[in-house]
Structure 1
Amino acid sequence: MAFLLLSSVLLVLVFLTAEVTLCTGSTECVARNFGHDSVVCECNSTYCDSVGSVSLPPLGQYSSYLSSMAGSRLKGAQAQVQVKSTGAGIRLTIVPYQKYQKIRGFGGAMTDAAAINILSLSAGAQDQLLRQYFSPDGIGYSVVRVPMASCDFSTRLYTYDDTPGDYNLDNFTLAPEDINMKIPLLQRAQALSPRPLSLLASAWSAPAWMKTNGALVGKGSLKGQPGGKEYKTWAQYYIRFLEEYAKYNLTFWALTTGNEPSAGRMTNYSFQALGFTPEEQRDWVALDLGPALHASSHPHTHILILDDNRLLLPHWAKVVLNDVHAGRYIHGVAVHWYMDFLVPAEISLGVTHHLYPEYYLFGTEACSGWNPLDRGVKLGSWDRAEQYAHDIIVDLNHYVVGWTDWNLALDQTGGPNWVKNFVDSPVIVDAQRDVFYKQPSFYSMAHFSKFLWEGSQRVGVSASQKTDLEYSAFIRPDGSVVLIILNRSSSEVQFEVWDPAVGYIPSTAPAHSLLTLAWNTH
């Protein structure tokens, strides 16, 4: 009897030890299938898969990280660089002396909805989620876009000064959403990050009393003209926002001239917007926002124009940047990804870069599930992960220096969203079960954000023949090379990489996969 009892105790101890090991040692994806073309990885307060902090292999070896429709999620491996060609049909040659733009960073948006969803989890699960994005063990997000007051991904309509006629902004005050949700989460994210986060502010609408339509939503612009009291007050509103956040040790790398100014010129537009023509934006920056920022305690905060779909380029940039008075205050052009298919990147991004190389291009918003024909959350959609990777590669290959996803986290319906404009997100929260799901698009972002550090420089890469592979190559500040390859075809593709500095790297891109290769050159 005693022997049986001892055996039972030992079995229980072994079982408990195995459970603990699973929670702390294993980093494998806990896959769940919701009936789409791939899986999500489920995380809770005690466990979440992670590739961990990545260190480069010694000279003569290379690392590969694979995610695929078949279920791989940042699956890592190391192998030897070879002296001789493998004879693979396709060769990608790194051309290090062809140098292009330097990377600023990758990230997502801390909307009211994202904050609500993160805070709906237990403290342990919240920490897991933030670590996944911002810690060295996570995917290395360095950019966070912060809406100034409410947007569609809020639960109510508000601005920071809804007192009519308050041109001195005496009643300007941050909202409970800022104080109780976004600011504490941003501080926690910053504490996890190994480097200062690049915060990016965007306003959706001015207070209704400043606007021609007297409302936060729909078609409307600022009353009066640039240089007038509404335009001056709207510029000071930006300064006050920066000052209030600075009290919480949160300083902004950049601000945009306003989210999607074209939306505020559309009749019956359904949510918050503030219309600007490129001419109005040019004059507002030259006469009001630029001088106000320059004279403030935040003169080094960058101004990014447009913050709208890239199909408005290069026309918008020509109108604003050709003006010397506006141009001297501006650092870059912010683009959204919606309807990218209408205008080739070479026309919108390429031409803009070549006309104005001193201004950088930066992606400030993208999400899947925005299209009415394919709306909302799709748990496990690999197709959407491919859409992300394709767009990022195209953008990077056309001089964009960073790419910002939309909501950091949404619920299973794709909200909350007061106008019911539901979309998808790389992280979906199930508060009832105290879990969150990392979508394939989370790993799509990771293949870029985890490996392309700030200061990484795009370099040339050429293919020996026409191929279905999409790719972009970079040399990081530490001298290592990172090559990202997307295979959207239904066939496996064998290829080799030739880097004159090290040799030949044999590789395979499985059907519907995303691959990051990294190696040292010294």
Structure 2
Amino acid sequence: MKGILPEQLPWTLLLIPQISGNLLDGIGYSVVRVPMASCDFSTRLYTYADTPGDYDLHNFTLAPEDINMKIPLLQRAQALSPRPLSLLASAWSAPAWLKTNGALTGKGSLKGQPGGKEHKTWAQYYVRFLEEYAKYNLTFWALTTGNEPSAGMMTNYSFQALGFTPEEQRDWVSLDLGPALHASSYPHTHVLILDDSRILLPHWAKVVLSDVHAGRYIHGVAVHWYLDSVVPPGISLGTTHDLYPEYYLFGTEACAGWNPLHKGVMLGSWDRAEQYAHDIIEDLNHYVVGWTDWNLALDPNGGPNWVKNFVDSPVIVDATRDVFYKQPSFYSMAHFSKFLWEGSQRVGVSASGETHLEFSAFIRPDGSLVLIILNRSSSDILFEVWDPAVGYIPSTAPAHSLLTLAWKRQ
């Protein structure tokens, strides 16, 4: 490869290749996704309103898991973080008595119609969740309209789900969720639709965001990574951005080890670290403004998970031996979370010559520039970065490597 050219940027080289910064100070995670009640990585099935017929949610109560685990951990994480954390809430299922199948799992949606009592109760459930967490000084930047609504349309789906079509989601946001949030103490909480695989785009966005009544309550579109190889990012993400540039795209779930052919934990897997880096770079280059890993830490089996949906995680904790392992994917994530500060803006990058390198560049709020480069090939690749202020900056991307370069204005 002859060169990588950050377009029209008068920067000079400051930092050197490879990850820099003290990882003992953390890797800069700033978004925490919090399940509303149980999900598959819980140890049991539960919601916060399991009393049938309680449409006014008089018996809405946080679970012991929230009081004893989630809330203390979030408070501790916030105390350790040098900047405020952005909390993101997602619900997996409504209470069984509000659903057509009378169960938290499997194929089922809300009873009745948008605007009806079941849909309004489900919207108020979101408000009550925000109110209860606020009592512990935990406020949420955003919430999604529900985890993977397509799963709730599948017969015999094995764990918690709530089915929505895009039309039903549009009308629920317009008639119930949007007005409920607007009338609450949290009218500025962001609402993200979809929270599912990008293969559903741009159709889902067209249905929901083309409606002015729903669109006024919505801030962004949440996507998961699981079927990213099925549909090109330009078709799903790029088209959605071009049609609705006023709504941001945000990655809300990703994990390695979910594929049945390669399931569960794989200690020391660099291939999975590359999978993370490839997907993040691809998303960033197609207008996604954030990317969220699913589990902060799992046990050596890839759980706990009540339905045995075991996957991998950047941190693996072996409680029986009182040790934990930082996976290669942990350090892969650090190239992005450590160096792409909140408020960074992506800039165009042009390359001369053919290359197997993948890359994305950003201007940070302090005016410095970050260039992240992934080499998934089996060969070292020599390249040069051209900066008008200093000329060509020679560098090498070793085989199967991830590099971070940064420039700072002199």
Which residue is equivalent to 1:239? 127
Deviation at 1:500, TM superposition (A): 2.6
SS at match of 1:297: coil
Which residue is equivalent to 1:503? 391
Which residue is equivalent to 2:5? 93
Q: Residue 341 in 1 paired to residue 253 in 2?
A: no
Which residue is equivalent to 1:437? 325
Deviation at 1:466, TM superposition (A): 1.4
Give me the whole-angstrom Cα distance separating, in 2, the residues matched to 1:497 and 1:315: 39
Which of 41, 45, 62 is the equivalent residue of 1:174?
62
Which residue is equivalent to 1:478? 366
Which residue is equivalent to 2:15? none
Q: Structure 2: which amino acid aligns with 1:158?
A: Y
Which residue is equivalent to 2:190? 302
SS at match of 2:292: strand
Which residue is equivalent to 1:292? 180
Aligned pairs for 1:200-215 within 5 A: 200-215=88-103
Which residue is equivalent to 1:196? 84
SS at match of 2:7: strand
Deviation at 1:96, TM superposition (A): 4.4
Give me the whole-angstrom Cα distance separating, in 1, the residues matched to 2:64 and 2:315: 24
TM-score for the superposition, normalised by structure 1: 0.75
Which of 295, 303, 326 is the equivalent residue of 1:407?
295
Give me the whole-angstrom Cα distance separating, in 2, the residues matched to 1:502 and 1:480: 15
Which of 35, 42, 50 is the equivalent residue of 1:154?
42
Which of 344, 356, 366 is the equivalent residue of 1:468?
356
Structure 1: where are the runs of 5+ without partners?
Answer: 1-88, 98-130
Which residue is equivalent to 1:520? 408
Deviation at 1:395, TM superposition (A): 0.2
Deviation at 1:435, TM superposition (A): 1.1
Aligned pairs for 1:13-52 within 5 A: none
CA deviation profile, 1:395-427 (whole Å, cap 9, x unmatched): 000000000000100000000100000000000
Which of 250, 264, 285 is the equivalent residue of 2:138?
250
Aligned pairs for 1:303-322 within 5 A: 303-322=191-210
RMSD between aligned alpha carbons? Answer: 1.1
Q: Is the 8 A contact 1:501 1:521 kept in 2?
A: no
TM-score for the superposition, normalised by structure 2: 0.96
Structure 2: where are the runs of 5+ without partners?
Answer: 10-21
Q: Is the 8 A contact 1:502 1:521 kept in 2?
A: no
Give me the whole-angstrom Cα distance separating, in 2, the residues matched to 1:297 and 1:415: 36
Q: Structure 2: which amino acid aligns with 1:437?
A: Y
SS at match of 1:455: coil
Deviation at 1:504, TM superposition (A): 2.6
Q: Structure 2: which amino acid aligns with 1:428?
A: I
Q: Residue 259 in 1 paired to residue 147 in 2?
A: yes
Give me the whole-angstrom Cα distance separating, in 1, the residues matched to 2:228 and 2:389: 36
Deviation at 1:339, TM superposition (A): 1.1
Which residue is equivalent to 1:39? none
Q: Structure 2: which amino acid aligns with 1:242?
A: L
Q: Structure 1: which amino acid aligns with 2:56?
A: N
Q: Residue 276 in 1 paired to residue 188 in 2?
A: no
Q: Mark the CA change 1:507 to 1:252 in structure 2 (over 3 Å): closer, same or farther.
A: same
Q: Structure 1: which amino acid aligns with 2:7?
A: V
The number of residue pairs the alignment matches comes to 398
Give me the whole-angstrom Cα distance separating, in 1, the residues matched to 2:112 and 2:2: 60
Residue identity over aligned pairs, in percent, reads 87
SS at match of 1:318: helix
Q: Is the 8 A contact 1:336 1:363 kept in 2?
A: yes
Give me the whole-angstrom Cα distance separating, in 1, the residues matched to 2:122 and 2:270: 42
Q: Structure 1: which amino acid aligns with 2:324?
A: F
SS at match of 1:477: coil
Which residue is equivalent to 1:421? 309
Q: Structure 2: which amino acid aligns with 1:440?
A: P
Aligned pairs for 1:341-420 within 5 A: 341-420=229-308
